[in-house]
Structure 1
Amino acid sequence: MRLPKITSLYGRIFAIFWFTMFLVLMAVLSLPHLDPRKARDIPADHYKRLVDITHSIEKKYGREESLAKVLFKLEGGKRSPKDPRPRFFVTDTEGNILTTQDRKNYRYRALQNFITSVEVPGQPQQKLYGHYMVAGPLPVTLAKQDLLLYIGVKWNEPPPFLLRMFDKPFQLLFAVMLVSTPLLLWLAWALSQPARKLERAAKRVARGEFVVDPTLEKGTSEFRQAGTSFNQMVEAVNQMISGQQRLLSDISHELRSPLTRLRMANALATRKQGESPELTRIDTEAQRLEQMIGELLELSRMQVDSHLTREPQPLTSLWEAILSDAQFEAEQMGKALTYSSLPERTITGNPKLLMSALDNIVRNAIYYGKDEINVEISSAENQVLIAVDDNGQGVPEEELESIFRPFYRVSTARDRHSGGTGLGLAITENAIRQHSGTIEAKQSSLGGLRIEIHLPLHADE
């Protein structure tokens, strides 16, 4: 018959617990049958040997006249404790010990305890006292008297394994741990595997990879339920983002059509009536609106598709050309841009987003800086630090955390009259976050704004 497979986490834990308890219980129940310290029947071969010894003693001393002499000969006088020969003890039929030696000897104390602990009087049994085994009683006739004979022998055999375990609690604990450790290791492995799968799936979602993972729905019932819920969440997020993308695409299409007609009508009016400040303002605002729609679509596509293209790229191939071009453009505007040499390191990510992020910040610094821009790129351990400083008017302290919000406008020179749409830094912040990085705005030592970016060099590892 095939046992049912335990698929519940709690079921596995309880199964291991009860299996361990079952082993301990079996050991406890089997101990009385293995423990020689309890009075028990003499094995058949040993019993036959004891009977032969009894007959031999009875034949030798049965007709003696003096019992005291017989006892002295049987006891053998003073003997070494290490003497391996058996020792003989005699009692009357009432259980009173007959001896010519000191009754306070530990062997006689053991004998007295054995006589009182035998459950069935007269039935030969044996019991272990330390390393001394006592067996009896065997009926014997000595000096024409009916007596009982007990035999004691040195027990040199090691005690049974379970007996040693119960005698020493630490050994018992070690044995239980030894038995349960493989089961616990297997349980830990069974728990860690689905947990690690769930962790990897969560990291993929954190990187913007909203992919359903069927392997999450395997394992114990608790992890299967968690994996199913996780996949349902991923599907719901995918549907929500897809709906948002479709909505933005539909809005852009609906806005661009009348916007295109507006610009065509404005061009026709200009051709017909000539240039005028009003028509020029209409054309400028129409262009700004078209730019804003384009940047909104770019931000939306970035949030949805940034995980599709990820590859390792050296920092030099990503940003050296951007910094060189920016330095040339700054010189054309009468400004000085300096940048440090790029570290010989590699980063894994979307090249287009990483290039766009640095390009947006550097061009922003060129635009708002008075005449000095400094770009510092360095690496430490598994991170790359990018710091862009300018000596422009800067941003008020209380607004530094808000400039990365879409459409946020600073109340200084960085306003709508500068020609921006308020989406550049939001797009940059989103690109950095897609690569598990951080971006922060601070007051620059040059007097303007300082943008710091931290990116992991191996985001996918």
Structure 2
Amino acid sequence: MKLPRFSSLYGRIFAVFWLTLLLVVLILLLLPNLDPRTQHTIPQPQQERFQESAASISSQISHDGGSLERKLSRFTDDKRHKGFQLYFTTTDGDVISPRRNSKALRNFITMADSPSHPKQKLYGRWMMAGPFEVRHKDDTLLMYIGRIVREPPPFFIQILDKPFQLLLLTMLVSTPLLLWLAWAISLPARRLQNAAERVAKGEFEADPKLESGSKEFKQAGASFNQMVQAINHMIGGQQRLLSDISHELRSPLTRLRMATALAKRKQGESNELTRIDTEAERLETMIGELLELSRMQVNSHEQREQTDAASLWYDMLEDARFEAEQCGKALSYTTLEEWPLHGNPNLLISALENVVRNAIKYGDDKITIRFTTQAMRLCITVEDNGEGVPDNELGDIFRPFYRVSTARDRSSGGTGLGLAITESAIRQHSGTIKASRSKLGGLKVSITLPLSK
């Protein structure tokens, strides 16, 4: 049955509810009519056979001698054990033969007494049918036929006899419709959920499929697509602005460094010129990292591929261990396995590298890196035994340009963007990152990333 189209979600619910109710009512109305325990018309072929039997009996008893009861006893005695029994009554309902009669017969006589409209009704396993007209001279008799029904009772009779089965049937009829309704309602909701997850990963793309379905979800999908387009325009404008600013700043910075180099050539080295060159270089580095952070936030969903942890970080960690040894520090890490990951390889490498190099820079002489898995997530911890970060500033070190008030300040040469870039990359890959105090005495950075299936 094809349901009418409703643009409104409430209209669909209303239609399915009333259709289910209608089907249940129809079943409840039809089942009693199919119940053989109520009076039914005898099928035509069977009715003709019964009438032929009544005519044959009429012919036989009209030619035989003796009393009427003796004549009828030939047709009523010793028949029940064969699975059927004939009963003869007067037109007033008085039983002539056999004298022993059942409650079923007495009940059926009160309901069926017209030979022109014979009926049948089931009493347990005993089917009563009749009456059929039998002629004896000038008298009219009525013949009833009882026969044993050997087939098991129909399924719907069991249903009518047991309310629990009737309830079960109602549930079986209504469940497919309710499942269809749940699927129809949840489909646009799942589409909206998937679109929201894509936006959370940085994929700002409108989905035309969101603007289909019921009126409520269609309006929500249209609003969602408008929001995505607005975010796209805003991010695009921000990216263009940062590119323009970087271009405008890098031109005078280049001229400034060229002028500093010429001044050093003419006047020789001086603390002032060295300071100018250092600050210009730091400013250029900061602009580059700021642009990298901006590009990461906009384009993180691009160039994603299936990879594994060993392929991603093994070379980087070996390089970091070599650099740590050159600084007189010991860097160790647990065995890297081929845990499956899906993402932008360059971003994932850069994210962990920033944390590791930060630990090498600020650790005294020991850096440890651990890789573990738990519940389809890869857990990475990077610890050092340096001064660490004050507890009240642990939540702020991932903010852009933030510098702590201890040794990790501007004099160390950092721009305050490394950990911000790491946090953005991890978040864009549906991971988490947090900082805490290490048992080694320094900083502990914990990263979790989802493993791909």
TM-score range, shorter chain: 0.7 to 0.9
Asked if the contact 2:120–2:130 (Cα under 8 Å) also holds between the matched residues in 1, the reply is no
Question: SS where residue 82 of structure 2 aligns?
Answer: coil
Structure 2 Cα separation of the partners of residues 160 and 457 of structure 1? 56
The reply to whether residue 84 of structure 1 matches residue 77 of structure 2 is no
Question: 1:365-380 residue pairs with structure 2 within 5 A?
Answer: 365-379=359-373
Structure 1 Cα separation of the partners of residues 352 and 51 of structure 2? 103
Question: 1:171-250 residue pairs with structure 2 within 5 A?
Answer: 171-172=165-166, 190=184, 194-250=188-244
Q: 1:397 aligns with which of 356, 373, 391?
A: 391
Identify the residue that residue 99 of structure 2 maps to in structure 1: 101
1:383 Cα offset (Å): 3.4
Structure 2 Cα separation of the partners of residues 260 and 95 of structure 1? 123
The CA deviation string for residues 13-40 of structure 1, in whole angstroms up to 9 with x for no partner, is 5555555444444444444654433334
For 1:84, the aligned partner's letter is G
Structure 1 Cα separation of the partners of residues 413 and 84 of structure 2? 114
Structure 1 Cα separation of the partners of residues 93 and 108 of structure 2? 10
1:303 Cα offset (Å): 0.6
- Structure 2 residue runs without a partner (length 5+): none
Question: 1:279-358 residue pairs with structure 2 within 5 A?
Answer: 280-358=274-352
Identify the residue that residue 120 of structure 2 maps to in structure 1: 127
The CA deviation string for residues 440-461 of structure 1, in whole angstroms up to 9 with x for no partner, is 2122222111222222332xx5
1:246 Cα offset (Å): 1.9
1:425 Cα offset (Å): 0.9
1:82 Cα offset (Å): 3.6
Question: SS where residue 86 of structure 1 aligns?
Answer: strand
Length-normalised TM-score, structure 2: 0.83
1:267 Cα offset (Å): 5.8
Note the aligned Cα RMSD (angstroms).
Answer: 3.7
Counterparts in 2 of 1:110 and 1:290: CA distance versus 1, 3 Å: same
Structure 2 Cα separation of the partners of residues 394 and 175 of structure 1? 69
Counterparts in 2 of 1:371 and 1:29: CA distance versus 1, 3 Å: closer
The reply to whether residue 39 of structure 1 matches residue 32 of structure 2 is no
Number of corresponding residues: 450
Identify the residue that residue 53 of structure 2 maps to in structure 1: 53
1:412 Cα offset (Å): 1.5
Structure 1 Cα separation of the partners of residues 10 and 335 of structure 2? 57
Identify the residue that residue 443 of structure 1 maps to in structure 2: 437
Asked if the contact 2:24–2:173 (Cα under 8 Å) also holds between the matched residues in 1, the reply is no
Structure 1 Cα separation of the partners of residues 41 and 350 of structure 2? 92
1:297 Cα offset (Å): 1.3
The CA deviation string for residues 92-125 of structure 1, in whole angstroms up to 9 with x for no partner, is x4333345634xx5x2x2222223224x756442
Identify the residue that residue 409 of structure 1 maps to in structure 2: 403
1:426 Cα offset (Å): 0.8
For 1:449, the aligned partner's letter is L
Structure 2 Cα separation of the partners of residues 326 and 95 of structure 1? 111
1:204 Cα offset (Å): 2.6
Asked if the contact 2:330–2:365 (Cα under 8 Å) also holds between the matched residues in 1, the reply is yes
For 1:136, the aligned partner's letter is G
Asked if the contact 1:345–1:457 (Cα under 8 Å) also holds between the matched residues in 2, the reply is yes
1:185 Cα offset (Å): 5.6
1:138 Cα offset (Å): 4.2
- Structure 1 residue runs without a partner (length 5+): none
Counterparts in 2 of 1:381 and 1:21: CA distance versus 1, 3 Å: closer
Counterparts in 2 of 1:222 and 1:6: CA distance versus 1, 3 Å: same
The CA deviation string for residues 194-226 of structure 1, in whole angstroms up to 9 with x for no partner, is 555444433332322222333444455554444
Structure 2 Cα separation of the partners of residues 344 and 48 of structure 1? 84
Asked if the contact 2:61–2:71 (Cα under 8 Å) also holds between the matched residues in 1, the reply is yes
The reply to whether residue 385 of structure 1 matches residue 379 of structure 2 is yes
Counterparts in 2 of 1:272 and 1:160: CA distance versus 1, 3 Å: same
Question: SS where residue 231 of structure 2 aligns?
Answer: helix
Asked if the contact 2:87–2:95 (Cα under 8 Å) also holds between the matched residues in 1, the reply is no
Length-normalised TM-score, structure 1: 0.81
1:332 Cα offset (Å): 2.8
Asked if the contact 2:211–2:217 (Cα under 8 Å) also holds between the matched residues in 1, the reply is yes
- Relative to structure 2, which stretch is displaced further, 158-167 or 326-335? 158-167
Structure 2 Cα separation of the partners of residues 65 and 24 of structure 1? 59
Structure 1 Cα separation of the partners of residues 208 and 256 of structure 2? 51
Structure 1 Cα separation of the partners of residues 328 and 45 of structure 2? 114
- Relative to structure 2, which stretch is displaced further, 415-424 or 187-196? 187-196
Counterparts in 2 of 1:321 and 1:87: CA distance versus 1, 3 Å: same
1:427 Cα offset (Å): 0.9
